Structure 1
């Protein structure tokens, strides 16, 4: 079985499959198979990163508040309640929790100090505490970079990592890539920057600006949690045409 990855900010308002779901639901704890993954995908285009996995069976017990499909798999409806009211927030998250508190509902006992999961949980990577402007993360919240810099300031945690073997090199512990740059305006002024429509979709902008999440993904399995592998400076060259 191939695991399918869908966005952690899956459901705002959907137009496919709701009538059958709402008619069949006898409570807010209806089974998660009544709305298929395909129904979600009919309206929402989900990137393959920055997402919580679905279509897999958990290896540990999930709280009863988050129902699994009859076959034991995680689905969109495990976390998202299609009939939720305003109290659960704009993302229709079950229980109304957001960010790190929501992640810890399932993962608090599983994380290990220094692990990829621990880092993702502490960032609230799949379900950010601050609202996102788009359910598809085409425009990410600039607040994400502020969260990163709370630790990665060159003092508590490294400000950046710049390998030098066959790649564009920089030196220094805290000489990370600048953030907060208005990319569309910068691209107009510089012929060496990739045009916005041609950017690799894995490289996102935070409300139009370059931010930490443009290059990094707390859920990524790529070294240094990059959105794409930087061998041969592939990530750098996604934006910088030298």
Structure 2
């Protein structure tokens, strides 16, 4: 089962559009929708969200601002258009397709490895999804 990691309680994130701790975390509407269903998988940790302990990926961060500070990021104008950046921010929808709760089981059943993962915004063969934003 996936485990999401966030820095503030889900309850707080659902109530407040902005949480501050040195950097601003603006959780967009779609990410809020994700958290409402996946809240049982959420734990507290440094304004980051991820599926388990293998990665530590931020959401709610302004991509262009991050790219200015991090040479390991692709310039904002060169990010693959399949990677959505609503309001210029990294969100759940940046890497994942949107689906309705009643479609989850059918969509998850298609994750058999014989085709690109239907829950990702683009094919991740050879880490292509990661390389859409990261050049290192």
How does the TM-score come out when normalised to structure 2?
Answer: 0.56
Q: Which has more helix, going by share of residues?
A: 2
Distance 1:192 1:199, change over 3 A: same
Return the alpha-carbon distance in structure 2 between the equivalents of residues 153 and 178 of structure 1.
17
Residue in structure 1 matched with residue 4 of structure 2 by the alignment: none
Residue in structure 2 matched with residue 196 of structure 1 by the alignment: 76
Residue in structure 2 matched with residue 148 of structure 1 by the alignment: 34
Q: Which structure would you say has the larger Rg? A: 1
Q: Which has more strand, going by share of residues?
A: 2
Distance 1:154 1:230, change over 3 A: farther
Instruction: Name the Cα RMSD after superposition.
Output: 2.7
Q: Deviations over 1:139-163 (max 9, x none)?
A: xx9211011011223527xx7447x
Return the alpha-carbon distance in structure 2 between the equivalents of residues 176 and 150 of structure 1.
20
Residue in structure 2 matched with residue 184 of structure 1 by the alignment: 64
Return the alpha-carbon distance in structure 2 between the equivalents of residues 218 and 147 of structure 1.
10
Return the alpha-carbon distance in structure 2 between the equivalents of residues 186 and 160 of structure 1.
18
Structure 1: state its 5+ residue gaps: 1-140, 163-169
Residue in structure 2 matched with residue 48 of structure 1 by the alignment: none
Return the alpha-carbon distance in structure 2 between the equivalents of residues 147 and 181 of structure 1.
17
Residue in structure 2 matched with residue 226 of structure 1 by the alignment: 120
Residue in structure 2 matched with residue 235 of structure 1 by the alignment: 129
Provide the secondary structure at the position in 1 that maps to 2:41. Answer: coil
Return the alpha-carbon distance in structure 2 between the equivalents of residues 152 and 211 of structure 1.
15
Query: Aligned runs of 1:31-110 on 2, under 5 Å?
Result: none
How does the TM-score come out when normalised to structure 1?
Answer: 0.33
Structure 2: state its 5+ residue gaps: 1-26, 43-48, 100-106, 111-115
Higher relative contact order (CA closer than 8 Å, sequence separation 6+): 2
Deviation at 1:213, TM superposition (A): 0.4
